[in-house]
A and B are shown apart, each in its own frame.
Chain A
Amino acid sequence: MDYAIEIEGLVKTYPRFALDHIDLKVPEGYVMGFIGENGAGKTTTIKTILSLISPEAGQVKVLGKRPEEALSDVGSVLNGSCYPDGLTMKDMQFILSHQYKNWDSKEFARYLDMFSIDTKQKFGTLSTGMKMKGMLAAALSHHAKLLVLDEPTSGLDPVFRDELLGVLQNYMQDNGNSIFFSSHIVSDIEKISDYVTMIHEGRIVFSETKEELLDGYRILCLSAKDMGLANKKKMIGLRKTEFGAKALVRTEDFDDKKYTLERATIEEIMLYWIKKEEARR
């Protein structure tokens, strides 16, 4: 299998945070959602993929090359970075057309038209959603084989978010295109991803296909009476409720005839894992 992104043993240390031997593989032609709470290490991982920071140890390959060699085939939208306020999308079209050999002005115009962005309007006067759309339009207009998006839906309303996800789904119609998409809005990840990877405090907690994840975990509902009977060692995070407790469990570990098991959402899986990690400390 070919991989759009291959990360092995990635280490990056800051005074109060570290990426701790990250292993991650995004198969070509798929969407990987990258989840984790704020400060978990999502942006730092993305920065290494885009060669914005250098790892202390480990290897990062993007489209089979070193990150800096693959940039012409990568479209990116970074959280917190924007085009200069005084520039218009028309200016950006000129700037970007001189950066990418495969720049497609018609495609860029088509996206701007689709997003109803006035090419003469200054970037600083656009709303947060429009800015994000403008940057996404740019990322999509040089026939990139890989899109790397850092919290692209953060701060956007549900309508905008839904529209963006639609655009990404369209992008995936081209065979071989891949997306690496970080977000703490897990419902967005659930809508679009084929694979889901969770990072917590700089370590990968799981990296599985969405189906494996959703089939592999269940929410175990326990009454106060059943609490003592269930094997707590096999529970991933336990939350006490009014009537007993709920815990995340692996589907194969608990017989659904004996216990009440509910299907878990990715958000629940993430929250229970975080709870488990916090309890371990």
Chain B
Amino acid sequence: MIGLIFKDLRTAVLQFKLLLILLVMYFGYSIYLKDLAFFASMESVLVLVLSMMAFGYDEKSGWDRIACTFPGGRDRVVVSRYLFGLIISTVMAIAHVIMGIMLRTQASVIADSLLIAFSLSALFMAILFPLLYKFGSEKAKLIFLVLFIGMLAVSSGLLRDNESYVFDFGRVSNVLILVGSLGLLAVSAWISCRIYRRKEF
């Protein structure tokens, strides 16, 4: 599995320039706004972008056909992709902490926003990855976009009706949020494995 994760990280590093530009942009804008929440919201977007790029890259090169001829079963290919997503999320989390320190944000606020950002990344991955395995990157992007807009619309509606809703999320214990998001990701990985096992190349 190390080899497969290395492959994803290596190809992500190839997009280093793009990643660096985006990070600097978000960093700069967050400092200008003095708003850690802005950076937090962008973290999950970056995780999404990098994950989608990894899937697209594989499709372009026909990598799955090669990866599925490796011994050890197809589940390894799927699990390594989830681990790659978690590694990227962790890198973003580290950037989040640095950002928080630079903005002299309170430690508790950094921790809360970090958990929300991490949970959001996990939620996005949990929804997106099975779609990518099922429909391929082009169709999955569209489906996810529709779902994303739907989720935004629903959450905006909820906010209008009851402004405290968003803060309720913060009251849930940090451990529960973390366990919940990772649990969701595990279920998503299980679904993706089932899809990928049946997939024909």
Contact residues of A with B, CB < 8 Å?
47, 50-54, 68, 71-72, 74, 76, 78, 80-87, 91, 94-101
Contact = CB atoms under 8 A, between A and B. Distances in A.
B200 A68 contact: no
Interface residues of B, number: 26
B34 to A, nearest CB: 37
B69 A96 contact: no
B71 A99 contact: yes
A68 B72 CA distance: 8
Question: Which 9 A-B pairs rank lowest in CB-CB distance, beginning with the nearest?
Answer: A98-B3, A81-B62, A72-B71, A95-B3, A86-B14, A71-B71, A53-B200, A99-B70, A81-B65
A47 B66 CA distance: 11
A84 B11 contact: yes
A100 B71 contact: yes
B70 A82 contact: no
A4 B43 CA distance: 51
A84 B7 contact: yes
Contact of A91 (B7, B68, B72): B7
B21 interface: no
Nearest to B68: A52
Interface of B: 1-4, 6-7, 10-11, 14, 57-58, 60-63, 65-66, 68-73, 198, 200-201
A82 B71 contact: no
Most buried by B among A78, A80, A81, A84: A84
A74 B61 contact: no
Contacts of B69: 50-52, 71, 74, 76, 78
A72 B60 CA distance: 25
B3 A99 contact: yes
Given A99-B3, A100-B70, 13 more contacts: A47-B201, A50-B68, A52-B200, A78-B65, A82-B61, A84-B7, A84-B58, A87-B11, A95-B3, A95-B4, A95-B6, A98-B2, A99-B71
A85 to B, nearest CB: 6
A80 B198 CA distance: 21
B4 A52 contact: no
A71 B11 contact: no
A218 B73 CA distance: 47
Contacts of A85: 60-61
Nearest to A142: B71
A99 B198 CA distance: 21
Contact of B61 (A53, A84, A97, A100): A84
Nearest to B62: A81
B10 A87 contact: yes
